[in-house]
Amino acid sequence: MSRTLVIGDIHGCLTPLEQLWSVIDPTPEDRVIFLGDYIDRGPDSKGVIDFILARLPDFRIECLTGNHEEKFFLARIDHTELDHWLSAWGGGATLESYGPGGFDDVPEAHWDFLRQNLPYIETDTHIFVHANLEPDLPLAEQPPFTLVHKKFGTPEPHQSGKVMVCGHTAQKSHVPLNLGHAICIDTDPGRGGWLTCMHVETGKMWQTNFDGECREGTA
């Protein structure tokens, strides 16, 4: 039976991603959803995007856009945004992963990939977003800021009755926060935490880190 597998914020952490992929061992029938924030902080943002791109032809992969991808685009065209990205967002590690030419070394295929990422994904039972939802607004009317930037906090159930699954708000406990109607699986791999994958249908989770450790549990 096919699975829906959702993977939280990666933040340039290619080694945990490679191990996590090996552990969950997706089949071409599984649906794999990435929640965004592929870049910044960790040492190999380029490698993370290359990893995903290499698997797009053979797997059912869907990717959301995160606030760090949005900042990446803004930093490319605005010096003030660039300074902020480099000083406060971990952008320096991203540019270093591409090479000495900075933005000039970013392949056009990477920009194309990031442009095509989705604001949300909806199934019969769940809504997947990077950051959050406004509970009283249908998906088509959600503000872009909420979808990409709004912190998790204590969200109310969405009017659809569906469970929201998101990343964005780093859980310092390094385990997902499950409120029943909303689940945050950003477990902060870019700052010493763990990278998380959740099997949506069962709630089972797998986590990996830079120390080569793997653990399982229930989200």
pLDDT for res 130: 98
Task: Judge contact between 146 and 134, C-beta under 8 A.
Answer: yes
| Cα(67)–Cα(5) distance, integer angstroms | 21
Catalytic residue among 11, 68, 126, 168: 68
Parent domain of 54: 4-120+184-218
Q: Residue 59 domain-assigned?
A: yes
Residue 165 falls within a domain, yes or no?
Answer: no
Structure tokens at 83: 């300074």
Please state the pTM of the whole predicted model.
0.98
Smallest CA-to-CA distance from 147 within 166, 171, 172, 162 is with: 166
Check if 174 is active-site: no
What are the helix (H) ranges across 67-107?
Answer: 67-77, 79-88, 91-98
Mean pLDDT, 10 residues at a time, the chain of 219 residues: 97 98 98 98 98 98 98 97 97 98 97 98 98 98 98 98 98 98 98 98 97 96
Find out whether 48 and 21 touch, Cβ atoms under 8 Å: no
In a domain, residue 152? The reply is no
Residue 196 lies in a domain: yes
State the CATH number of the domain containing residue 198. Answer: 3.60.21.10
Task: Specify the number of domains making up the chain.
Answer: 1
Is 62 a domain residue? yes
Is residue 46 in a domain?
yes
